[in-house]
Structure 1
Amino acid sequence: YGKLQATTERVALTTASVAHCAAKNVPVMHRLKHGRQYSIGGRTVVEDRQISEGGFAFVWLAHDVVSHEELVLKKILCQDKAALTMAQREVDLLERLPQHPNLVRYYGHTILGTEGKKTKEAILLFEICPGGHLLDLLDRAQGVLGEDRILAVFAEVVAGVAVLHAMRPAIQHRDLKVENVLLGADGKFKLLDFGSWSDECSDTASLDKHAISALQEHIERYTTMMYRPPEMVDFFNQFVISEKVDIWMLGCILFTLMFYRHPFQDESALAIANARYNFPSTPEYSQKLQDLSHWLLARDPGDRPTSRELLQILHGFKECDRPLTLPKAVVERWEQSSP
């Protein structure tokens, strides 16, 4: 994203790999005559070609032997019980998610392994999203989308997040970023990669040292540093970790769509903890959109809107001339940091 380097704390192997190749017109496969065959979700699927790997996960392009529909397999090598539990946890959520145009379509899974051996293989089947991720969208537009396009794209991302937050208990995605939003064949932007999800709210002020240490380890392992909100990088703030972490991450995505750079691209924990970032003067946007960006990046999660409120705000955003009513703390913090 200009100078922005798309770094992650772990390799999240998903359909993004296929989408990126498709968006760049890179040939990603030559079908094998004898690829492995799987029975998943009532389909018979044959793997065609591995197109990505990292850690203990592998992504393959595949096809349905009956319909010839192109699909994506995410294969997770589980070498111990903990790894298998994490893979099963992702599957459990995918099976609970409702079908929604802004969530990547999941078709089922299978778990393979040899009896008596610890290593198992979890194989998850997804739709293919050939339009690329949000970074591809920005690249194609040379970093300038225009306010109307930004709002339209962002509203679809928020709609996907709102589905998660409407579940009971509310689901926190916890790894929202431009690479985890894909453009599907139906023209809709879709969330993917649910391996970091949580439905637990943590009041860091009430946790003991052992619980704090365990929570820190989990955050460092399963979230992306430059997208983490203040409550995840500095427990001394004593904020509650809840679904409002996703609202902060949405703020990072919105900022990136606006300026082709991440607000915390240097990954400074101190800058994140204090919600300090530079707001570029160009391209120029309406005051209302600027205010929305600041609101989502509020230091205190209690000052951020809910995903439902955000959807309501985005509906008719341009038609309504009324300015946003921001929390006092958000206004004061931005006024203090402005030159």
Structure 2
Amino acid sequence: MSLTHYFLDIAYTFNTCINCFPSPSLHINNRSYKIQRLLGEGGFSYVYLVQASNDEYFALKKIRCPSGSDNLPQAMREIDSYKIFNDEHIINMIDSNIVQERDGSKTVYILLPYFRRGNLQDTINANLVNHTRYDEREALQLFLEIAQGVRVMHKHKVDPGSGVTTRRAGKNALDMERESQPLMDDDPAVTPSASSSNLIMSGDGILPYSHRDLKPANIMLSQTGVPVLMDLGSCTRSRIEVSSRQQALELQDYAAEHCTISYRAPELFDVKTNSVLDEGVDIWSLGCTYFALLYCSSPFELQSSESGASLSLAIVNGRFRFPDAQYSERTKDIIRACLTVDPKNRPDIDRVIQMIHGALQQF
């Protein structure tokens, strides 16, 4: 599930929570947690606020995995994603557990930090309601930290002494080539199958990943205001060679299901055979996110609402406009560069960070 509503203050009562559990508490790997309230839900997943025995609060993601569904492989991939990165700008997993239910299904629990300040979308919504905006320098500083988190994913490097074995992709178009042992050997993580696919890896040991669902609702704010990328359910190895029409359609369908439309890169709407999907999908989403940070709406939602045009058509054609001249051209140039329709002409994350530094120098 997407954690779009991860920490929205929804009016669910305590009784709503206990309907999903035999009791208002549960154990994860011998540690007890008391369920406080439901924070959000979607599809087969729920997120709860829970309290540990030491009174510390956490967010608990519960994923129901009926027999025969692909929920379990997806949940396993998400768990593995949390283990890959170690950076303050990317959320860390505290614990996880898989429970075999009596009906043959499985339930996956993922324990995550609880961010009292909520996510960036909450701040954007507050700005919209209060008719306020980010100061440009403050927005640039925040965007710089978000970009630094993305850079950790795009420039991921495996420690030669880690014992990790790199292998080429085989049948799975979105296979992450797990960097940790599967939690359940009898349930390998498989996402849409394709007749063939290759993951292109650089010769310097960098094995890039893409988040693939970057948006303000997936960026939490720590108590000190540090942006933290979350919801790694869509995170996957980057640089996928699309070698067949079947594979292109599977990747396109996967993106339609897992990548939020208003922040989705145009190349994911019509995946081309003999193309490469790479980190550029995140660069596009970064541009949309920075626009939303400044103008309280994604650029193409704003364009669609003003013109009545199709949202997907506006994205594919890269049609958007800046509402006013309140922000500098340097800031707008960053957004224009990120929202280049042809992914080959988009800047990489290092160039984006360089542009942000350049814009900050004017203050």
TM-score of the alignment, normalized to the shorter chain, above 0.5 = yes
Instruction: Choose the corresponding residue for 2:343, options 301, 306, 322.
Output: 301
Secondary structure of the structure 2 residue equivalent to 1:317: helix
Report what 1:173 is aligned to.
Answer: 211
Deviation at 1:208, TM superposition (A): 2.1
Q: CA RMSD in A?
A: 2.6
Q: Does 1:110 align with 2:153?
A: no
Map 1:1-339 → 2, pairs under 5 A: 12-13=2-3, 16-18=5-7, 20-21=8-9, 35-40=24-29, 43-65=31-53, 67-81=54-68, 82-98=70-86, 100-114=87-101, 117-141=103-127, 142-167=131-156, 168-204=206-242, 207-235=243-271, 240-265=276-301, 266=304, 268-280=311-323, 282-315=324-357, 317-319=359-361
**1: CA distance, partners of 2:12 / 2:75:** 29
Distance of aligned partners of 1:111 and 1:293 in 2 relative to their CA distance in 1, 3 Å threshold: same
Q: Name the CA shift for 1:184/1:144 in 2 (closer, same or farther; >3 Å).
A: same
- In structure 1, stretches of 5+ residues that fail to align are 1-10, 322-339
Output the CA distance in 1 between the equivalents of 2:355 and 2:325.
22
Q: Quickly say closer, same or farther: Cα 1:259–1:192, change in 2 above 3 A.
A: same
CA 139–216 in structure 1, closer or farther in 2 if over 3 Å, else same: closer
TM-score by length of 2: 0.75
Cα 1:164–1:242 change in 2 (3 A) is: same
**Equivalent position SS for 1:103:** coil
Cα distance per residue 1:263-315 (max 9 Å; x no partner): 111362222122111222x2511111111110010111122222123223323
- Residue identity in the other structure for 1:279: F
Whole-angstrom distance in 2 between the partners of 1:313 and 1:153:
14
User: How far off its partner does 1:238 sit?
Assistant: 6.8
Give 1:320 shift.
5.6
> What number of residue pairs does the alignment pair up?
299
Percentage identity across paired residues of the two chains: 29
Aligned counterpart, 2:183 = none
Q: Which whole-Å deviations, capped at 9, do the CAs of 1:234-274 have from their partners, x for residues lacking one?
A: 33597531111000000001111122221111362222122
Residue pair 2:317, 2:341 contacting (<8 A) in 1 also: yes
